[in-house]
Amino acid sequence: MDYFHIIEDKQDLLKVSNLGLAYLGDAVYEVMVRSWLVLHGRLTPGKLHQSALAYVAAPRQAAMMEKLYPLLTEEEDRVYKRGRNANPHSHPKGATRQEYQIATGLEALFGWLYLNGANDRLNTLFEAMLAGEEV
């Protein structure tokens, strides 16, 4: 198994829990953010870490999802809503419950796309989210 280039059957992906997709998507999103920061700025390790934390926080993810939502296909919208409507038992104190749910939906979408092997689509959506952002 090549864990960097996974392509799962869509039927098998339906069996993955919403929060499981979000768990994986959180890591995929964070790797993409870290890559973007390293490639687009000359920051010290401490500044890289602070910048990454700002981008992966639920309020920022929820704001980014507003830019992204109109670009989603019907299938991606279903996956996003599956993740958004998952029922986590808590949320971080720096975010509202709604922001956390939207961020969970975004992460579920990124996890699902990753498991589908849809790297081009991940990159397209990620670039759309970060359009106009400065490091």
- List residues with catalytic annotation: 26
Torsion sign, CA atoms 54, 114, 62, 82: negative
Please answer whether residues 93 and 55 qualify as being in contact, where contact means their C-beta atoms are separated by less than 8 angstroms. no
Q: Whole-angstrom Cα distance, residue 52 to residue 82?
A: 26
| Per-residue CA distances from 70 to 27, 43, 107, 110 (Å) | 24, 32, 17, 16
